[in-house]
Amino acid sequence: MFDDVRDLYQDVILKHGRRPEHMRRLASFDATAKGDNPMCGDRVQVWVKYGADDTIAETGFEARGCAISIAAGDLMTEAVQGLNRGEVGRLFADFGDMVRTGTCPDCMGLERLKPLSGVHEYPSRVKCATLPWHALIAALDDKQEASSE
């Protein structure tokens, strides 16, 4: 019945949406920020611990939201491992393009995030996929709250 939503709900998304591996509050962390989408009620908080050279050593998140936002948060924590603020910013820009257009001209570093490209066919769901990123960027910028788009 739902074959045509498989591009959105790929197995990877369903798996990470159902059983996220990084959905946890870090016991010790250097930065944290919240993201909130009042239109739909999604809420997310991200914790970050830095390693050497201000790169990300560990990221954890908690989210109340749909499968897309939880999977996006979970995949994000994996994708940003070892990156610094500038690299995270560039990756998010590419990721944003991908979820809005479905393609990523230079998909460098986006391999793990590729399963989320199906979101582009569901414009109202794009912000579900980007909410955890907004929270992460806010945390890296020492803000407590993600500014809404």
Which residues of the chain form contacts with other proteins (CB under 8 A)?
A: 1-2, 4-5, 8-9, 14, 17-18, 38-43, 64-68, 122, 125, 128
Eight-class DSSP state of 23: -
Burial of 56-65, coded b for 16+ CB within 10 Å and e otherwise, reads bebbbbbbeb
CB 118 to other proteins: min, Å: 11
Between the alpha carbon of residue 144 and those of residues 28, 63, 64, 86, 135, the distances in Å are 17, 16, 18, 19, 8
CB 41 to other proteins: min, Å: 4
Beta bridge partners of 44: 35, 63
Tokens linked to 75: 């995949």
* Smaller CB separation from other proteins, 15 or 49: 15
* Smaller CB separation from other proteins, 71 or 76: 71
CB 76 to other proteins: min, Å: 18
* Smaller CB separation from other proteins, 8 or 99: 8
* Smaller CB separation from other proteins, 78 or 121: 121
CB 119 to other proteins: min, Å: 10
Q: How far apart are CA 77 and CA 60, in angstroms?
A: 7
